[in-house]
Chains A and B, each alone.
Chain A
């Protein structure tokens, strides 16, 4: 095949199926074929795929290091790896998973792919800036990865001072430079999304006709824009402190080590909502589609997204209840953290109410969504335990915290990511995956996840500190259980990697709208044409215009 305009080429190489779509413009996958057309593309859909490939690779690195950490913890005496190797492993796991997978995952892939399609635009507001964001992201990520591979970093992903500035003799500075660079990618993406959502909506696509997915990405972009600069400044100060002893964080030079924690968490707590909000957006698309019912309380859910993004800026101090913060500040941060529960509860109850009296299809995306709700609820409520001052005094920095944030960050991001990947896979690739395999993967991941992380709540309450390479023998049983669960989880993760890739070549062709879903992205062919819309998109009168509506009367049988 040659490059240029091919109007009716098959989806990638396919020896079996003759092409059935004739007469449409070339879809975005086949519009051009050269490597150059991928690496210099300004098409938001192709950039989304560049991100998808990158973050999948980073996820594998993060998952393998997690597996090695769990392997080491099978024995209490730390004989599997040396202390140094163990510390470097959990640092790589944290750095890669947080900065190179969880934060970019949904916004950079689905956000990039779907926001223009959902609002009826041909592309994002700044297509070249969008491509630049990916290059900035890759530059930073590869910089950090190179430093952890060549020299290793053993500070943990939090880089607390003065350990990171004065006492760690590892490659802290190059690793930090990479993370700092990646931050700029977040800022550019956020800027692009905000401008796009403000200025490029199709005629008739008013704010309250936007899908919740777009609302949550709008809220996420505000966090990207307002919080990321703070971590950038904090990390640059850390680099300067380490290189020149400027005396900001190191008490030996008149600095304050707790100041770093304030700056770090001022970004990193909102960052949790960078991970969670887009996940909520994905679930808010999946649940109505598979219940064939309008999202319950649309406006409340939209406001809750903005509410969460705002409240999350005022709770960072709950990471410092036992770190020498003033008692008054601790009490204030405690009660503010409880306030986060309000908008979170809205979402969960509204999804449940959406399912009520729906017409449910329990396909893979829906199974992931239901698993997500379970894990998110547990993760969220254990967050309230941690926000409770007296409980925090006991479980701070124990495995209770590890369990909690994995429930929120993995439960709230990875399950939503996988749910979204299955939901929009036909749209992205033009191919269907095999449903049975999808369902098996959803079950394996849900079970594996709970067997891995639930025992860690107990471990934490029993008092096992986190980041321990050697631990007292009475904790061994629960650690073995957790490691066994991680094996199931790993198998669960392998499934989609195999059958989704298989489907690219051998999957059935996907119709434009395989799920009978509403939303503008389902009105275009799968995969979408290079410029998204063949005809002028028409915004729906109401969002989530599913057959089953509240206030509707009369019996409905399928």
Chain B
């Protein structure tokens, strides 16, 4: 499910009252900006034409050099813009006062994926399903560098820091699916650290929580998400640019290695192969190109990934049987 991707969208979707008010704030500020700048631009252009050298024009000056003019064109724009400082600060304070009845969702940022955990225990990666009509507080932390959870439809973002918890809260009032991003540059795959925020009615959300396990396909389903988030498919999927062995049906099969040995692709082999893929474990006829995932993939993700690889083996074996 992808958020709408119109070829030319000129205003982002707003999914909360705060988002709508932020839009009003920026619209009103733009009106003031135009009031302050258009006269300057028109004046410069007009003067440039009217007072061109050689044009006949009245170039006499009255006693225009007055301190009053100068102070007024400093202070009036400043005071006018201060209205927007106050308005912006008010909205900011509202977005910092978390209501007591907010539902708490935990978020972890990590190179390069988001992990979310619902209060009832279900977790998801990169995607986030949430109910509307209820204040939600996302409490977040980073496992490595600074990331930034950005929810454009709610006009909200907040950094995730490696050393301490930060939070943001919102109350959405429009269902739909919207994008979520990491907006603080966090290294190589920064631009792939995104996902989908799905806002649903309370009833749909409750149903989703019920089915979350089934939807995710249990441990193996979660492993599929891990497989995608680490970009394994870029090499291992059929038709991938880099030639690497297909993983479908690998589990339990015999694998011929580059040094002539033959091993069984059991769980130990798969784990070793992911953590430290090359050297003695290189499969025959393939180049030594896979990066080692030791210290990269955390143990819980490795468990899920291996479960997923085992499940593809099972499927392939079932299909092979008549």
Contact = CB atoms under 8 A, between A and B. Distances in A.
Interface string A357-380: 111111000000010011001100
A83 interface: yes
Interface in B71-125: 73-75, 77-78, 81-82, 84-85, 87-93, 95-96, 111
Nearest to B161: A324
Contacts of A251: 161-163
Interface string A146-159: 00000000111010
Contacts of A330: 92
B164 interface: yes
Nearest to A254: B163
B22 interface: yes
13 contacts: A158-B185, A163-B187, A323-B159, A353-B64, A356-B43, A356-B51, A360-B47, A388-B88, A390-B89, A397-B157, A461-B26, A469-B190, A473-B5
A186 to B, nearest CB: 25
Contacts of A358: 47, 51, 59
A327 B188 contact: no
B92 A338 contact: no
Interface stretch (B8-16, B127-135, B218-226, B247-255): B8-16
A362 B10 CA distance: 37
A272 B60 CA distance: 39
B5 to A, nearest CB: 4
A389 B25 CA distance: 11
A84 interface: yes
- Among A155, A370, A373, A381, chain B packs the most CB atoms within 10 A around the CB of A381
A39 interface: no
Contacts of B191: 78, 83, 465, 467-471
Interface stretch (A190-198, A340-348, A429-437): A340-348
A334 B181 CA distance: 25
A474 B6 contact: yes
Given A361-B52, A397-B183, A471-B191, 18 more contacts: A155-B185, A163-B145, A167-B145, A257-B162, A322-B148, A338-B78, A338-B85, A341-B81, A352-B40, A359-B51, A385-B26, A388-B84, A396-B148, A465-B181, A466-B185, A478-B8, A551-B62, A557-B59
Contact of A465 (B44, B64, B183): B183
Nearest to A469: B191
Contact of B53 (A322, A359, A553): A359
A554 interface: yes
Contact of A156 (B9, B41, B185): B185
A462 B12 contact: yes
Interface string A456-499: 00100111011111111110111000000000000000000000
A393 B155 contact: yes
A374 B146 CA distance: 36
Interface in A133-179: 154-156, 158, 160, 162-163, 166-168
B157 A322 contact: yes
Interface string B34-77: 00110011011001100111111111111111000010011101
- Among A154, A335, A384, A465, chain B packs the most CB atoms within 10 A around the CB of A465
B87 A390 contact: yes
Given A342-B78, A472-B5, A465 B150 contact: yes
Contacts of A262: none
A471 B192 CA distance: 8
A234 to B, nearest CB: 16
Contacts of A477: 7-8
A147 B231 CA distance: 29
Interface of A: 78, 83-84, 87, 154-156, 158, 160, 162-163, 166-168, 251-252, 256-258, 291-292, 296-297, 300, 321-324, 327, 330-331, 334-335, 338-339, 341-343, 345-346, 348-350, 352-353, 355-362, 370, 373-374, 377-378, 381, 384-385, 387-394, 396-398, 458, 461-463, 465-474, 476-478, 548-558
B146 A390 contact: no
Contacts of A474: 4-9
B188 A390 contact: no
Interface of B: 3-12, 21-22, 25-26, 29, 33, 36-37, 40-41, 43-44, 47-48, 51-65, 70, 73-75, 77-78, 81-82, 84-85, 87-93, 95-96, 111, 144-146, 148, 150, 152-153, 155-159, 161-164, 166, 179, 181-192, 194
Contacts of B60: 357, 552-556
Contact of A468 (B9, B91, B190): B190
A468 B188 CA distance: 10
Nearest to B144: A167
Contacts of B54: 558
A291 to B, nearest CB: 8
Given A356-B51, A358-B47, A394 B148 contact: no
Nearest to B71: A300
Contacts of B3: 472
Nearest to A385: B29
Contacts of B37: 377-378, 381
Given A373-B44, A387-B85, A476-B7, A396 B93 contact: no
B159 A322 contact: yes
Contacts of B161: 251, 257-258, 323-324
Contact of B189 (A83, A162, A355): A83
A292 B91 CA distance: 49
Contacts of B179: 463, 472
Nearest to A348: B40
- Among B11, B12, B156, B190, chain A packs the most CB atoms within 10 A around the CB of B190
Nearest to B150: A465
- Among A335, A361, A391, A394, chain B packs the most CB atoms within 10 A around the CB of A394
Given A334-B88, A468-B190, A550 B145 contact: no
A517 to B, nearest CB: 14
B184 A334 contact: no
Nearest to B97: A327
Contacts of B47: 352, 355-358, 360
Given A323-B159, A373-B40, A463 B181 contact: yes
A556 B89 contact: no
Contacts of A469: 190-191
Contact of A556 (B4, B59, B163, B185): B59
A334 B88 CA distance: 9
A334 B86 CA distance: 10
A84 B188 contact: yes
Contacts of A356: 43, 47, 51
Contacts of B53: 292, 359-361, 558
A477 B5 CA distance: 11
Nearest to A374: B41
B63 A551 contact: yes
B177 to A, nearest CB: 12
A476 B22 CA distance: 25
Nearest to A255: B163
Contacts of B63: 550-551
A388 B82 CA distance: 9
Given A463-B179, A472-B5, A552 B61 contact: yes
Contact of A360 (B40, B48, B96, B162): B48
A291 B52 CA distance: 8
